[in-house]
Amino acid sequence: MNPALRDVLVFLQSWWVELVSGVVIVAVVPLVAGYLVLMERKLMADMQARLGPMRVGPHGLLQPIADAVKLLIKEDIIPDNADKMVFWMAPVVSMTAALTAMGGIAFGPAFLVARDINVGLLFVIGVSSLGLLGIVLGGWASNSHYSIMGALRSTAQLVSYETAAGLALVSGLLLAGTLRIRDIVHAQEQSGVWFVFLVPVAFFIYVVASIAETNRAPFDLPEAESELVAGYMTEYSGFRWALYFLGEYANMIVVGAVATTLFLGGWLRPFPNVHWMNWLDALPALFTAAVGAYCVFRAGKQPARVQVWFMWGVALACFAVALILGVPVLPLQVVAPLKFMVPGLHGAFWFLLKISAYIYLFMWLRFTLPRYRFDQLMHLGWYILIPLAIVNVLAAGVAMILETEYGWNRWLALVVTTLFTLGVALFLLRLNDKRAAAASSAAPPPEEPSTEDSYAG
Amino acid sequence: MLDKVIFFFFAGVAILSAGLMVTRRNAIHSAVFLITTLLATAGIFLQLRAEFIFIAQIILYVGGIMVLFIFVIMLVSLDVALRQVQFSRQKWVALFVTLALAVEVGVMLWSSRKVPGQGFLLPNAVPAAKLPPNTEALAGSLFSSYLLPFEIASVLLLVAMVGAVVMAKKRT
Amino acid sequence: MGPQHPSTHGVLRVKLKLDGERVRGTECVIGYLHRGVEKIAENRTYQQFAPYVDRMDYVAAVSNGLGYCEAVEKLLNVEAPPRAKVIRTIMTELQRIASHLIWLGTHALDIGALTPLFYCLREREEILKIFEKYCGARLTTHAFRIGGLQYEAYDSFEKDVERFCKDFERRIQEYVDLLTGNSIWIGRTRNVGVLSAGDCIALGASGPVLRASGVKWDLRKAQPYAAYDLYKFEIPVGTNGDTYDRYMVRMEEMRQSRLICLQAIENIPAGPILGKVGKVLKPPAGEIYHSIEAPKGILGYYIVSDGTTQPYRVRIRPPSFINLQALDKMARGHLVADVVAIIGTLDIVLGEVDR
């Protein structure tokens, strides 16, 4: 056989999983991001005493499809003086960065796209930060004043909060001792407790920083409608805008996945090592079955026939998933050969549940909190979050030394250092209040009485 | 053989981008092609099993330094610079020196083709499976044998940062 | 900030003189909604002009109608019967709540809080339902007539108002929970757009803008009209004159309006609803100025009659127009993002600014 052909076959044989996963990511993630948008609209409506999209498809479930089709058939407008190559490329860069970062995440012990790369977590963070380039190039290429200002602001915000996020992750990594995704989760399994309980301050800093990373409220000034129209996205319409938007939501998933992996135990169920908690293994199946039962309960109350069928369909799907999740866990002899599926499936379930909770938190904060002004945003990042993150790294390091060198109990060491970090946090916040009070008593800067009359002429 | 294909792909992209970078009239286009060059180089690092350097290149070089470049290009009005004379009177000297260097390198490559290893110092390649993990190896040497230069470098960076902030503050 | 901007609350064009991000001066370009209402008044009879005044401040149409009807009644030397006065008071206070709800929702939306708008609209819906049941219209109500009312309060009027007021206390608490203590909200509104008391009086600002700067002047207490002298209520006053104080003043005003409504519906006097006015109104020649405390500020009507059925001149003192002049003073030295908050806190309606 032709040696080249043989090489290709060998390559395909050993790498086909990764190739297929790559294709799946590129095909599925935009769809998932589209449904995330629908989820957000439904959640927002629920919190605002209304219903959200209801027309397109049952309960609005075909809304993302309708939106995608609409965006695809929209006229492609490119501003006159825009740089065509960069204008075309910028949203692509943004989306590509988010999708590639997805490739480094493990959704379960069996679902890992990039072969367990040595620098797993760093890979995800590094590649997702390439999305910055998409923003800054997009703003520039639009050749409009609003866009450039929005792009610069957005980039400054992202860079500042990336530092804080990275430092927060370092505190968690100190505890994990490795950058490989599988080994991080394994470390949490070994220590018996999710890292969020060991370094809660780091988790909190990461949450805040990741909200700013993904340009979500309350840090969404660069895309605030009332201020800069849409910032760097102003001149993008139709499918290009959709790419940016999907990149943002894919970024949310990536950021949630990183937090879940490092702090929330990845694909571990709560209390992974405690043997008498093994009944928790039945939770995924029960949960899905409960959702299915609820659908059955509501099916009778639907006004239209097609909606009744739809609810029944959803219920059946839920029961099927519940079966798949539940059967291998049953303590019966007949299902013993299926036991190998448990870690993979259940791991994926728990992982997705945790990411969903994290993203729910993002959305909840978006609907509740007003927006920070840009200088307040930067102040928060540089004056409060970054010093706090640095102190947290030091504290986590000290805790580890206390544990290994001086034989302290791990919990005691971490509690002591966490309290210290909280003290520093309070101190920083008090400083901030004092500075705000001092500045406001002299704000706005005293204006020299201007001689020109702005109303004249 | 697959290794060769991947290597030539990355190397080709790197060289092509580098060439495009120095021939573009638009500064942002040059920056974009520099980004592609750096990414291709990072790919070569990854192929050499130097994962940490691969990701460090992406995070620092592409994600940090190139963003800075693009900021500067955006904020500094380049029309003025473009209209200035690009080549000074020293272009003939520069051309001569470049040609001389190229001839030297070419002669060296040519005359060493018969020498085993072609004159390059080739350490014995280690089978990939036996390589120490790149991150750990780097960390180990940074924090033991090269600790002092590491600390000095970080102090230097801190000084540079503080200096930049001080210089950028408006005189109030 | 051009006429088509999501946050200028209508067609308002603001020219900002910027130094980087700092505002050095503003210039408002208005007139996009000018319809010549005052000129139209010279060619309509007094009753025919009444629907036109609703269209000025279309967010608070009932107050506009109250001011006009009372002004013409003064000109005719007629007084509305007590029952009409009480019902007028109830409707006007409900309208004040509705106007402040719109203000709160849009102001919060400009600053980035997405949710209060929908809660405010939900409450406002109840008020508009009451209006619709009463006079058939939700927005431009034309609820009052010169001399009193045309429509008797419908059967469940008191019950509806009482139910709304009882529910409203809990709703206000929702807004307070969302915004009042929120450090982001405080950070965006404290010390933003400060207007001192002296500046307010010099510029002629009125309404919550004036009261937030510390001047306790409310025409409902100072020169009572309708049935306001019958009820006990407080006038909220601020200290700093910044956006946060204006927010607190308006929130408290909503509470006080609710109290007035509750007191009023307990005792609506029986009797006629329309005073002794003929079908054809020919006020004697003369002039009258009558002002009321509209939700946006002091709304005044200066009517000159020449003895015919049509007024010689109707001049309206629009509170939004005069408050808008304070924008320049308030916005100087702030960042662009604050200008949006300041325009929102002035609570302007372009229909009133331009007429």
Kindly report, residue by residue over A318-359, the tens digit of the pLDDT. 888 888 877 777 766 666 666 677 777 788 888 888 999 999
What integer pLDDT is reported at residue C177 of this predicted model?
85
What integer pLDDT is reported at residue C246 of this predicted model?
92
**What residues of A are in the C interface, CB distance below 8 Å?**
44, 47-50, 217-218, 220-221, 224-227, 229, 366-376, 436, 440, 443-445, 447, 450, 452, 454-455
Same structural domain, A169 and A255: yes
Same structural domain, A164 and A299: no
Higher-pLDDT residue of C5, A229: C5
Q: Is residue A19 part of a domain?
A: no
Q: Are C188 and A370 in contact (CB under 8 A)?
A: yes
How distant is the Cα of C6 from the closest Cα of chain A, in angstroms? Answer: 6
How distant is the Cα of B84 from the closest Cα of chain A, in angstroms? Answer: 23
What integer pLDDT is reported at residue A230 of this predicted model?
54
- In B, residues 1-60, which contact A (CB 8 Å cutoff)? 1-2, 26, 28-29, 32, 35, 51-52, 54-55, 58-59
**Rounded Cα distance, C213 and C238, in Å:** 6
Q: Are C296 and C349 in contact (CB under 8 A)?
A: yes
**Rounded Cα distance, A279 and A331, in Å:** 11
For A198, A410, C200, the CA distances from A192, given in Å and listed in that order, are 11, 12, 65
Give the mean model confidence (pLDDT) for residues B37-50.
89
Kindly report, residue by residue over B1-26, the tens digit of the pLDDT. 677 888 899 999 999 999 999 888 78
Higher-pLDDT residue of A436, A444: A436
What integer pLDDT is reported at residue A452 of this predicted model?
46
Query: What sections of A192-300 are H helices per DSSP?
Result: 195-198, 200-213, 225-228, 238-262, 283-299
Burial of A45: CB neighbours in 10 Å, binned 0-12, 13-18, 19+:
middle
Give the mean model confidence (pLDDT) for residues A173-195.
84
Nearest to B51 among A83, A117, A132 (CB): A117
Given a cut of 70, whether residue C58 has pLDDT beyond it is yes
Is A375 close to C335, i.e. CB distance below 8 A? Answer: yes
Is C7 close to A374, i.e. CB distance below 8 A? Answer: no
Q: Is residue A255 part of a domain?
A: yes
What ipTM, to 2 d.p.? Answer: 0.83
Kindly report, residue by residue over C162-180, the tens digit of the pLDDT. 999 999 998 898 888 888 8
Determine the residue among A92, A137, A145, A154 to mutate to test chain B binding: the one whose Cβ has the most chain B Cβ atoms within 10 Å.
A137
Beta strands in C20-107 (DSSP E): 22-29
Nearest to A86 among B28, B63, B75 (CB): B28
Mean pLDDT of chain A: 81
State the pTM of this model. Answer: 0.86
Given a cut of 80, whether residue C198 has pLDDT beyond it is yes
Residue-number span of the structural domain to which A294 is assigned = 276-331
Same structural domain, A401 and A254: yes
Mean pLDDT of chain B: 83
What integer pLDDT is reported at residue A448 of this predicted model?
46
Residues on chain C touching A448 (C-beta within 8 angstroms): none
Is C110 close to A226, i.e. CB distance below 8 A? Answer: yes
Is A118 close to B62, i.e. CB distance below 8 A? Answer: no
Q: Which chains touch C (3 or more CB pairs under 8 A)?
A: A
How distant is the Cα of A218 from the closest Cα of chain C, in angstroms? Answer: 8
What integer pLDDT is reported at residue A450 of this predicted model?
46
Same structural domain, A122 and A221: yes
Same structural domain, A307 and A238: no
Residue A57 backbone dihedrals phi, psi, to 5 degrees: 75, 165
Same structural domain, A427 and A294: no
Reduced to 3 states, what is the DSSP secondary structure of residue C335? strand
State the amino acid at position A162 in one-letter form.
E
Give the mean model confidence (pLDDT) for residues C325-334.
88
Kindly report, residue by residue over A95-127, the tens digit of the pLDDT. 999 998 888 887 777 666 666 677 888 889 898
Same structural domain, A259 and A325: no
Reduced to 3 states, what is the DSSP secondary structure of residue C150? coil
Q: Is residue A110 part of a domain?
A: yes
What integer pLDDT is reported at residue C4 of this predicted model?
63
Task: Name the one residue in this structure whose structure tokens are 């069996």.
Answer: A110
Q: Are A228 and A262 in contact (CB under 8 A)?
A: no
Same structural domain, A198 and A297: no
- How many independent structural domains does chain A possess? 2
Q: Is residue A370 part of a domain?
A: yes
What integer pLDDT is reported at residue B38 of this predicted model?
94
- Joined together, the tokens standing for residue A68 give 């995608």
Q: Which of A213-222, A230-239, B90-99, C131-140 has the lowest mean pLDDT?
A: A230-239
Q: Is residue A46 part of a domain?
A: no
What integer pLDDT is reported at residue A454 of this predicted model?
43
Residues on chain B touching A86 (C-beta within 8 angstroms): 28-29, 32
Nearest to C112 among A218, A375, A454 (CB): A218
CATH class of B1-86: mainly alpha
Is B59 close to A126, i.e. CB distance below 8 A? Answer: yes
Domains of chain C: residue spans and CATH: 13-354 (1.10.645.10)
Is A454 close to C17, i.e. CB distance below 8 A? Answer: yes
**Rounded Cα distance, C11 and C28, in Å:** 11
Is A136 close to B29, i.e. CB distance below 8 A? Answer: no
Locate the domains of chain B by residue range: 1-86, 134-172
Residue in chain A nearest C116 by alpha carbon: A48
Mean pLDDT of chain C: 88
**Rounded Cα distance, A336 and A331, in Å:** 8
What integer pLDDT is reported at residue B85 of this predicted model?
59
How distant is the Cα of C105 from the closest Cα of chain A, in angstroms? Answer: 12
Q: What is the 3-state secondary structure (H, E, C) of A183-211?
A: HHHHHHHHHCCCHHHHCHHHHHHHHHHHH
Is A370 close to C179, i.e. CB distance below 8 A? Answer: yes
Q: Is residue A450 part of a domain?
A: no
Is C112 close to A217, i.e. CB distance below 8 A? Answer: yes
> Model confidence at A457, in pLDDT bands (50, 70, 90)?
very low
**Rounded Cα distance, A424 and A390, in Å:** 11
How distant is the Cα of A310 from the closest Cα of chain B, in angstroms? Answer: 46
> Model confidence at C314, in pLDDT bands (50, 70, 90)?
very high
Q: Is B70 on the interface with A (CB under 8 A)?
A: yes
Residue in chain B nearest A177 by alpha carbon: B136
Q: Is residue A233 part of a domain?
A: yes
Same structural domain, A221 and A322: no
**Rounded Cα distance, A403 and A413, in Å:** 7
**Rounded Cα distance, B78 and B80, in Å:** 5
State the amino acid at position B162 in one-letter form.
V
Q: Are C38 and C321 in contact (CB under 8 A)?
A: no
